Structure formats: structure tokens, C-alpha cells
Amino acid sequence: MDELIHNLGIDPKTIFIQVIGFLIVLFILWKFAFGRIGGIIENRRNEIANRLKKLEDDQQELERLQSETQKRLDEIESESQARIQTAIEEANAEKQNILEQARQESEEILQRSREEIQREKEIAIVELRSKVADLAIEAAGKILDAALDEERHRKLVDDFITQLPNNPS
């Protein structure tokens, strides 16, 4: 085997020295380069894991805030619907009050108008009676061609008028 190794050109001392040199370089790299690179990789892995955890926490917080916001929007919409309904009911009540007040005012105006018409009617009747009395006195004076005093004629006419029906409508 020695001969085979020698024929192949392999020197065991060189290989041994190269193996020891490789192990020393490997140890130095392991100690200084791979250790630091491994630390950097581990730190990076931890940083990425922390960022993912923060992103998940932020996502959960965002979902919670969206849920609260939607809930509050629903409450606001419900409140606004209730306020609108209350305003409609108040408007309807006010409308009824205004209509009732207008109806009462129109009834009062109508009643005052009827009373005014009745007063005007009574005044007109009194004036008409007076004119009729004057005409009757004048006619009676001309017919009788006698000199009756005006007071007696007026009493006769007033008596006659009071005997007339009282409801001229």
C-alpha cells in the first residue's frame, strides 16, 4: 500500500500537514468567522421573528380597532335613526298642534263672524223698523190727511211691528 500511495504521488507527511493546517484554518474560521456569522444569522433570525410577531400583534390590534370602529359606526347609525324617528314624531306632533290651533282659530273667526252678522242683522232690522215706521207714519198722515201727532203714530207703528213675526230670516 505504501507503494501504491507512493506511485500515486501521495506523500503522507504532506497530507498530514495539510490536514492539520486545514483543521487549524477550520478552527480559526469556526472561532472567528463562523461564530460571528452564526451570531449574525441568529440575531437576524430573532429580529425577523420579532418583526413577524409585531406584525401579527399589529394585525390583531388593527382587526380589533376595525371591529370597534364598525361597532361604533353601527351604534351611531342606530342613534341617528332613533333621532330621525324622534324628529319625525315631534314634527308630526307639531303639525297636529298647528292644525288643531288653526282649526280652533278658524272656528273662533267663524263664530265671531256669525256674531257680527247677527249684530249687523239686528241693527239692520232696527233701522228697517225705524224706516218702516217713518214711512208708515208719513203714509198714514197722507191717507188720513189728519194731523195726528208723530208720537202717537210712532207708537201705533211700533205696536204693529212688534206684532210681526220676530224671525225675519
What confidence score (pLDDT) does residue 116 get? 93
What are the residue boundaries of the structural domains of the chain, listed by start? Answer: 2-163
Query: Most confidently modeled of 3-7, 12-16, 75-79?
Result: 75-79
Q: What is the DSSP string of 23-63?
A: HHHHHHIIIIIIHHHHHHHHHHHHHHHHHHHHHHHHHHHHH
Percent of the chain with pLDDT strictly greater than 70: 88
- State how far the Cα of 68 lies from the Cα of 159, in Å rounded to an integer: 96
- Output the pLDDT for position 167: 53
| pLDDT tens, position by position, 103-158 | 999 999 999 999 999 999 999 888 888 887 777 777 666 666 555 567 777 777 77
* Angstrom distance (rounded) from CA 125 to CA 166: 10
pTM, full prediction: 0.41
